[in-house]
Structures are given as structure tokens and as C-alpha cells.
Structure 1
Amino acid sequence: MMVALRLNRQGTKDRPYYKIVAVDSRKRRDGRYIEQLGVYNPMTEGTNFNIDLEKAEQWIKNGAQPSDTVRSIIKKARAAALEA
């Protein structure tokens, strides 16, 4: 089973927010996921994400492939963690 770290769309029309999830790569975008790692809300300004870096690192270490957007969010979260 290939695990992917990707976004799961929530919210209403024109007001999206996303869950960052670990999911079997064969599942559909909003299908059942294995574990929720965080959230991303593109509608807010400033820091618009919250992710558990330890869980994300563990999944990546075990072979999970993050999507481009999730990879970007993880990179930003690492930079924010270093600043704090």
C-alpha cells in the first residue's frame, strides 16, 4: 500500500478549508483516510495552517509521499518551528 500525505477538502462552496491527512494513494480525494495530521485554511491571512510535524516526519520516514502543497506546508512549519 502506497501512503500519500495530501489535502482532504472540507467546507462549503467558495469557502474551502482542508484537512492534511495520510491516505492510501488509491483512495479518492475526499475518501476515508488513515490519520489526520493537521489543517490548512487558505481563506485566512498569515499563518493559515496547523500541522503535527512529528506525525508527518514519521509518515515520511516510513515511505509516505507528500503532495506538492503538503510538502510546502511542512517546509513552512519547519521554518516556523526553528524561529520559535
Structure 2
Amino acid sequence: MIIEGKCWCYGANIDTDALAPMGSYQGENVLDGAKQCLRDVDPRFAKGVRENDIFVATENLGIGSSREAAPLFLKALGVRLIL
């Protein structure tokens, strides 16, 4: 399988609070909440990510509180691969 897309590269400790900020998801429309994904880390991400893009982070991706919306937001935005 070959995946072609833009690589969004980040460092360590991208936590679930950054991926799914508090109040961004109320359990209804995932895509609406996903528009807030990484807003405090990279405000360009949610508007710029496209179908089949690749999300790269170093250690401790998803550290922090348990937020089921974090991976749902990445998927809803079109991220195809997480490294």
C-alpha cells in the first residue's frame, strides 16, 4: 500500500487536550469538533489537513486524559496514517 499525502510533523507530548480541546465535542457532529483539533499547537492544522495526510509525532502522542474524540477528530479530518 502506498499512501501519499502531506506530513504534519510534531514533537513529543501531543496530548489529548491538544487533539480534542475541552468543549470542542459534545457527542454530535464529529467534524464540527474536529475543527478545533490542535488549535493551540498549530492553528493551521484543522483547516489545512486533507484526506490521506499523515500525522507524525514523536513520543507520548495522546498522553493525558482519556478523550475518545482525539482519534475521531484525526480520522474525521482525513488523516490516513499516524506515526
- TM-score, scaled to structure 1: 0.34
- TM-score, scaled to structure 2: 0.35
Q: Which structure shows the higher strand fraction?
A: 1
**Larger RCO of the pair (alpha carbons < 8 Å, separation 6+):** 2
Larger Cα Rg: Structure 1 or Structure 2?
A: 1
Q: Which structure shows the higher helix fraction?
A: 1
